[in-house]
Amino acid sequence: MRWGVAAIVVALALALGGSDGGRGSGGPPASGAAALVPADVLVYVHLSTDPGRPATRRAAAMAARFPSWPRLRDSVVRQLAAPDCRTAADALKGANEAALALFYIGKGTTANSLVLVDAGGEHADGSQRGCGALSVAYVGHFLAIGQPESLSVAQDLQRGRGTSLAAAAGPRRVFARLPADRAADGWVSADGVRRLLAPQGGLLGVAGVLLNQPGLTGAGFALSATRDGARIVVRSLRDPAQARKAGAGFRPFSPTLQDAAPAGAMSYLGVSNLAPALRRLLAAAGSGSKQLAPLVQGIDTDLLRLFAGEAAIILTPATPAPVLTLLARTQDEAATRRALARLPVALRRAFRTAVFDGKVAVSTSAAGIRAVQAGGPHLSGTDQWSKSVGNHPQSVSSLLFLDFSRLLQLGEQTGLGDSSAYQAAKSDLEKVRSIGADTSGNDSESTAEISLLITP
């Protein structure tokens, strides 16, 4: 795949606050680029680059909090200003929007790329010409950059030939429901999730695993800057028949167990069905599951039956290894004690258990049991919980909290600090204090809201 050109999308963000004027407002961002992208696009990322919009200015201020931002911005500007071709860099100076799309053409197995930059007005000359290793052409009021065949696709859509992403029913409905104060948005098709994102390492791979749910047809997303950090909203569309055929997953519930989790918890995941949560947790961890798997490998089917209702996975700090505790509601304490007594001897020896106050707890350490039995303080009363996930809906299908700073410290203690990739990103990652997320939905559509608490 021609991933080199994908780096250009980072440079597009430099236009956030990059021009002197501005025709913006507090409403949704300009979205004309989607009309020049095919409906079957694999990945589409769109940025509002109009400094007249308050949302764009907030995003620029948020980006400036990260130490690597000036270096990254300047590096990609140099790439855009290729020898004998400053067209792209010049166009960004007055752009209102910019986008990157990756898509297949015909039966090709290599994804083509297309960068679109708002050029401010219609251009009569739509002829293609070379621009460094790529080609450029004006398509309507956009400057299009990419392979010649990518430009031809955009030109055909501009002439009304074919179906664009903007005209496709599913994406159009999703974009209409995304937050108006977004500074960036986009779309990922099911093929894009499974063929491009999921196989990748790092954060892209994690995103692919988390998005890849049964019956997925595509997902739209939006990024907004907030006073304390950033908010990401993901709306996924699903084929109801395939989703129902896939069987049990996360079910809606009203979360309460966060009120029993200790304030010092490094992570908390509340769900309505524990088994699929553990499977997705290990899949999302990727190579990191080598450290996580030993904590959950002893949890067999008999034990998981106790956690079919509201349940929580809680990770608390300890030396030499963190403590994993499973907590669930139970309506029959006596029956739950009998079920625990019937567990295999090896399993009962491997875990500590307790049934109390309408709850059942299973932990890798007695300290985990004591932590959830203590009277407080509790996780739901902390400032980080309140700012990261405190405004969750009354009914959710999952609820997540990560004390990101402490998890990074744990990662460094277990070898993460030896990674050159981590060292390169460390100063940026350390700006993220915590992450909160909640999901909700049904067989045909789901919504995830993710909040990042970022230090000033």
**In degrees, to the nearest 5, what angle opens at C-alpha 378 toward C-alphas 372 and 382?**
150
Beta bridge partners of 438: 399, 449
Contacts of 285 (CB under 8 A, 6+ apart): 292
- Predicted local distance difference test score (pLDDT) of residue 120: 80
Q: Where are the alpha helices (DSSP H) in 231-376?
A: 240-245, 274-285, 289-296, 301-304, 333-341, 345-350, 366-373
**Range in 126-140, 194-208, 240-254 with the lowest mean pLDDT:** 194-208
Is residue 84 scored above 80 in pLDDT?
no
Q: Apex CA 189: angle with CA 219 and CA 27, to 5°? A: 45
pLDDT higher than 90, residue 303: no
Q: How far is CA 48 from the centre of its chain?
A: 19
Q: How does pLDDT run across 322-333, given as a tens digit for each residue?
A: 898 989 998 889
- Look at residue 449 and tell me whether its pLDDT is greater than 80: yes
- For 331-347, the pLDDT digits (tens) are 889 988 988 888 778 77
Residue 412 pLDDT greater than 90, yes or no: no
N- to C-terminal Cα distance for the chain? 37
For residue 87, pLDDT over 80 is answered with no
Q: Which two tokens stand for residue 258?
A: 């966060």
Mean pLDDT of the residues in the chain: 82
Q: Which stretches within 159-288 are classed as H helix?
A: 169-176, 190-191, 202-211, 240-245, 274-285
pLDDT tens track for 255-301: 999 999 999 999 998 988 776 666 665 555 444 444 445 545 555 56
Using alpha carbons, list the distances in angstroms from residue 7 to 66, 70, 75, 207, 428. Answer: 18, 15, 10, 18, 18
The pLDDT score that the predictor gives to residue 411 is 83
* pLDDT level of residue 109 (50, 70, 90 thresholds): confident
Can you give the pTM of this predicted structure? Answer: 0.85
Q: How far apart are CA 381 and CA 129, in angstroms?
A: 60
Q: Mean pLDDT check: name the lowest of 69-83, 105-119, 250-264.
A: 69-83
Residue 292: closest CA among 400, 411, 430: 411
